[in-house]
Structure 1
Amino acid sequence: MPVTYLGLPLTIRKPKKIHFKPLVDAFQKKLDGWQSKFLSLGGRLTLVKSVLTALPLHYMQVIKLPSWLIKHLDGIRRRFFWKGNDKCLGGHCLVNWTKCCLPKKCGGLGILDLQTQNQALLMKWLWKLLSEPDSTWSSTVNLLYGTTDVATLSLDTRISAAFKDILQYKDFFSASVSVVGGNQGPIWKWSATGNYSSASAYRLLADPGWRSPYHSILWKLKIPPKVRVFLWLALLDRILTQQNLLIRNWPTISACKCCSLDCTETTAHLFILCDFAKQIWSRLRIRYNIPPLLDPPDLHTFWTQNRAVIGDIWDVIWAATIWIIWKERNRRVFSSRSLSSTLLMAEICATIEAWKRIL
């Protein structure tokens, strides 16, 4: 001891930093093979959720990851999502990582929170003690400590360090399980089948108790992933408009580049209140024969209130127009170029028609 067994450090004491080096090296190996500068935020989000988040799951099923390791892995995931392989400072993160790790229904990106997922996976061993009394796991615990009762085990001073980490969750686990008589066995309250699953435990543990007003629509839009992430940022008012650049003390443009008004560029101004934006919305209203638009002072209300009148087709019109206006704004700021109104409308309409075909 310690030895490596099935890719995991096997030790009677708490694992040391050196034991987790293969996991950290696996993260770095993945990052070295990705051309992050050619990936959009949507592409990087997919890699974070499907690859980087999956790497520690093998460890998390049997070991409670130390806080320093979770912080380190979160730093790698956060840096790659916001900046790729470049250095990532606090100002580069448009939304804090805690919010990014919230479920989509709660306004986040649905990235797994490692600490919460670790707890959900470890509680599986407590479930096995109750539901599978004849399993090798239950028999081993009974042989070592003379019982499989969770409350009794938590008081035993002979318990190993790894088992102590699992027993830390006994209170939450016990409150979530109903034990009935007969041959029915224990029932997990948070799943339809009554059987424990780490997914159901994670959903419960990660739920802050409130809901995003637009999640059920935004993440189901049949549009490119990078556009969905951009719209998520815009709805949170976190895109780098002049106002948000000033908050971060970054060099910024003097005023809105899309209109002649000498006013601070905000999200609401750029996409709704700007004369440039109003002309675009007016021409789109005529082009698609939609009723007069309401002009509320924020992007979310502008979307939802007009959607209630126009219908589902408004989702594509709204998303495509917001996206193209942002591209035109960046063209004017960074390249000092602009499209004519005719070409800009043609680009917006072509984008709308392309996205309508995949609905």
Structure 2
Amino acid sequence: MGTTKPRVEHFGFIMNKVERRLTTTTNFLSHAGRLELVNSVLSSLPTYDMCTVQLPISVIEYIDRARRHCLWRGSDSNAKMKPLVAWKKCSKPKRKGGPGIINLRCQNSALLLKHLDKFYNRKEIPWVKLVWHAHYSNGDIPHATMDKGSFWWKDILKLCDLFKGIINCKLGDGSTVIFWSDLWNDNVMQSKFPRLFSFAKNKKISVLQFLSNNNLQSQFHLPLSEQAYQEYQRMQDYIQSIQVQQNTKDSWHYIWESSSHTSSKFYNFPYRNVQPPAPFLWIWDSKCSNKLKVFSWLLIMDRLNIRNLLKRKKHKLEGNNYNCILCIQNVEKTAFHLFFSCPFSQACWQHLNMHWNFQSDFFQMMMQLKQQYQNSFFMEIFIIAACHIWKQRNNFIFDRGRPSFSSWKCSFLDEARFQALRMSEDKHFVFLLRIDSFS
């Protein structure tokens, strides 16, 4: 890294590495295999650089484009196939309803915030001492002054707003904390006393400077309104108990109640209030292989390539026939019909003692059956059964095989016994006993 800001062409080696990983073998991988390639290889290639510098947006967009191609279109970057799921939904963590593909922009910011953590907590690191001495020795607050220093430090300072949103300062000498806008002692004065704040002369004054010169004429434009003066009196009562500790550094703690920065906690923090339907969590908690997990995730997202989805994408079929091929009811083949209400699939579920309540919505229907089923392997059995209903459909379309219950039952039992090998020894035995009861 030099003294000038890197241009896009300087990151060409990363983009070349990503492009070389899009080998022709991705055409032969399942969606689960491609997802693993995206998460384990393509997403990790720029990690080292993201720990140091802010990647240009065009570089991140190039890598995202390659990851999308890998996941949905294989190695052909010029393919015109549409993605099955929007990229924004693919970038959600697994515990929040997504497949866990990393959002590189958020990850880049999360990795760089560790530098602000070291800087504000004044860790015993040479560059921290150098920046404080070179730019802020006169008492300036870094996030209250104009950007100064190298291109690298200016990029780090741009993250101050993010940093301020997740930290709470425990006062030391108060020299690095803005009195009005920073969160300190669990309060933001600007929000606590909004009318008084509008009369403040210096809205970026430090806590140390405010408390050392705490008088009405010096700090506020006069005259105050009646409401502002009432807030001033309340503020005086509040700050009387506050004492700064000379020669003691301000310490910054995170609002998730930790004094140490971890990029994973910051990355997951924006999703803290996202509560996906329970079946999404059951998928990733199951003991099935990734191939089956990704299939079931696409099923619950209603993004499998069935005739109804092709119709929604304006894809014309021969004879405009979008009806289910596993039954003779002349019903349009939706995901719900194929896997739940079709007579063929109903026979499969009844064999497994699964009786769906079609009066409830989809997720409520699954949660009700899980409670009634009273079996810790409910999701494994559901995923394997649904996968082989799908294979019966594919066998009929692509191989002209005749779908039959006996064929589904045989493939279900074989797959279940194979998936049992992934379980711990105690669960393996119990699961096989359950599967053998369906023989």
Normalised-by-shorter TM-score class: 0.7 to 0.9
Segments of structure 1 that go 5 or more residues without pairing to the other structure are 1-8
Structural mapping, 1:13-92, within 5 Å: 14-32=5-23, 35-87=25-77, 91-92=81-82
Given that 2:73 and 2:79 are in contact with CA atoms closer than 8 Å, whether structure 1 keeps it comes out as no
Choose the corresponding residue for 1:198, options 252, 263, 281: 263
Choose the corresponding residue for 1:343, options 394, 407, 414: 407
296-305 or 227-236: bigger deviation: 296-305
Report the alpha carbon displacement of residue 338 of structure 1 after superposing the two structures with TM: 2.1
Mapped to 1, the partners of 2:139 and 2:305 lie a distance apart of 55
Choose the corresponding residue for 1:10, options 2, 6, 9: 2
Report the alpha carbon displacement of residue 106 of structure 1 after superposing the two structures with TM: 1.8
Given that 1:267 and 1:299 are in contact with CA atoms closer than 8 Å, whether structure 2 keeps it comes out as no
Structure 2 residue 142 is the aligned partner of structure 1 residue 152:
yes
Choose the corresponding residue for 1:97, options 87, 103, 113: 87
Mapped to 1, the partners of 2:84 and 2:112 lie a distance apart of 32
- What TM-score, normalized to structure 2? 0.72
Report the alpha carbon displacement of residue 43 of structure 1 after superposing the two structures with TM: 1.5
Partner of 2:226: none
One-letter amino acid of the structure 2 residue matched with residue 228 of structure 1? K
Structure 2 residue 418 is the aligned partner of structure 1 residue 354:
yes
Mapped to 1, the partners of 2:396 and 2:296 lie a distance apart of 20
Local SS of the residue matching 1:92: coil
- Aligned identity (percent) is 27
Given that 2:73 and 2:81 are in contact with CA atoms closer than 8 Å, whether structure 1 keeps it comes out as no
Report the alpha carbon displacement of residue 283 of structure 1 after superposing the two structures with TM: 2.5
Partner of 1:316: 380
Partner of 1:179: 169
One-letter amino acid of the structure 1 residue matched with residue 68 of structure 2? R
Partner of 1:5: none
Segments of structure 2 that go 5 or more residues without pairing to the other structure are 173-244, 428-439
Choose the corresponding residue for 1:140, options 115, 130, 146: 130
Give CA deviations for 1:310-353 in whole Å, capped at 9, x if unaligned.
12232222111100000111111122212432222111233234
Mapped to 2, the partners of 1:223 and 1:148 lie a distance apart of 61
Give CA deviations for 1:44-103 in whole Å, capped at 9, x if unaligned.
111211211111111111211111111111000111011220236675211111110111
247-256 or 181-190: bigger deviation: 181-190
How large is the RMSD of aligned CA atoms in angstroms?
2.5
One-letter amino acid of the structure 1 residue matched with residue 29 of structure 2? L
Report the alpha carbon displacement of residue 245 of structure 1 after superposing the two structures with TM: 0.4
Partner of 2:303: 238
Say if 1:345 and 1:152 are closer, same or farther in 2 by CA, change over 3 A. closer
Report the alpha carbon displacement of residue 39 of structure 1 after superposing the two structures with TM: 1.6
117-126 or 37-46: bigger deviation: 37-46
One-letter amino acid of the structure 1 residue matched with residue 285 of structure 2? K
87-96 or 250-259: bigger deviation: 87-96
Structure 2 residue 340 is the aligned partner of structure 1 residue 272:
yes
Report the alpha carbon displacement of residue 280 of structure 1 after superposing the two structures with TM: 1.6
Given that 1:268 and 1:297 are in contact with CA atoms closer than 8 Å, whether structure 2 keeps it comes out as no
Given that 1:324 and 1:347 are in contact with CA atoms closer than 8 Å, whether structure 2 keeps it comes out as yes
Given that 2:280 and 2:297 are in contact with CA atoms closer than 8 Å, whether structure 1 keeps it comes out as no
One-letter amino acid of the structure 2 residue matched with residue 217 of structure 1? W
Partner of 2:368: 305
Count of residue correspondences = 343
Q: Which has the larger radius of gyration?
A: 2
One-letter amino acid of the structure 2 residue matched with residue 309 of structure 1? Q
Local SS of the residue matching 2:328: coil
Report the alpha carbon displacement of residue 25 of structure 1 after superposing the two structures with TM: 1.0
Say if 1:100 and 1:208 are closer, same or farther in 2 by CA, change over 3 A. farther
Mapped to 1, the partners of 2:151 and 2:26 lie a distance apart of 40
Say if 1:326 and 1:61 are closer, same or farther in 2 by CA, change over 3 A. same
One-letter amino acid of the structure 2 residue matched with residue 36 of structure 1? T
Local SS of the residue matching 1:178: strand
Report the alpha carbon displacement of residue 148 of structure 1 after superposing the two structures with TM: 9.7
Report the alpha carbon displacement of residue 125 of structure 1 after superposing the two structures with TM: 1.0
Choose the corresponding residue for 2:325, options 257, 281, 292: 257
Mapped to 2, the partners of 1:145 and 1:325 lie a distance apart of 67
Mapped to 2, the partners of 1:153 and 1:275 lie a distance apart of 65
Partner of 1:108: 98
Mapped to 1, the partners of 2:104 and 2:385 lie a distance apart of 36
Local SS of the residue matching 2:168: strand
One-letter amino acid of the structure 2 residue matched with residue 284 of structure 1? L
Partner of 1:330: 394
One-letter amino acid of the structure 2 residue matched with residue 316 of structure 1? E
Say if 1:337 and 1:268 are closer, same or farther in 2 by CA, change over 3 A. same
Say if 1:121 and 1:155 are closer, same or farther in 2 by CA, change over 3 A. same
